[in-house]
Amino acid sequence: MKKIFYTLTTCFLIGFNSFAQENQDTYQPRTTTFFSDMQFGGGLGLAFGSGFTNIAVSPMALKPITEQFSAGLGLQFNYLRSKGFYESTSYGANILGIYSPAEMIQLSAELEQLRVNNTIYTDFSKINTINDNFWNTALFLGAGYTTENVTIGVRYNVLYKKDDLVYNQAWMPFIRVFF
């Protein structure tokens, strides 16, 4: 009986040792850093016209968590001016979650918090003005078609209110580009 026990123990240890050595040969230590697979992108918008100016800058960083899920953070700045009528500055941050159930399909959830400073001119002079400063929160749920590093889609603001002074409707198209 002792002979069988020693033989089985020896076979087990030899087999385990060869298995461990085999796994050591195929093990690749992680040589990537946190930022090595980070993607950067965002948006830039410029519009000028007769008495009209709109400047928008929104950089974003996206980190893949799994093959199908990514999360990111972004900043936003927007300046809008219609000479003699209206002036608005908004700035803030957003958190983005992206789920890709298939290679070309992208589902997203984005929480946005903006500080909005509006000045409305009640006449053509800057004497009579209405200042409206407030925080605006938006929660966008979206779906898009992805090819390479570009996604085109539509998103819906589930927190939209009819009297919203930031967005004039709940639905809006989007284009996302990440490098």
> Taking all residues of the chain, what is their mean pLDDT, rounded to a whole number?
84
Give residue-wise pLDDT tens across range 152-168: 999 999 999 888 778 88
Residue with tokens 């930031």: 166
- Give ∠ CA 17-18-19 in degrees, rounded to 5: 90
**pTM assigned to the model:** 0.75
What value does the mean pLDDT take over residues 45-72?
A: 94
- Which residue in the block uniquely carries the two structure tokens 């298939």? 102
Report whether pLDDT(10) > 80: no
Q: Which ranges constitute the DSSP H helices of the chain?
A: 2-26
Tell me the per-residue pLDDT of 126-150, one tens digit each, with 9 for 90 and over.
Answer: 677 888 899 999 999 999 999 988 9
Is the pLDDT at 109 greater than 90? The verdict is: yes
Of the candidates 176, 115, 104, the one whose C-alpha atom is nearest the C-alpha of residue 140 is: 176
- All structural domains of the chain: 38-177 (2.40.160.20)
Q: What is the pLDDT of residue 129?
A: 85
Q: Report residue 144 as tokens.
A: 């898009």
User: How high is the pLDDT of residue 125?
Assistant: 64
Name residue 48's beta-bridge partners.
53
Q: How far apart are CA 103 and CA 147, in angstroms?
A: 8
Question: Rounded CA gap, 137 and 142, in Å?
Answer: 16
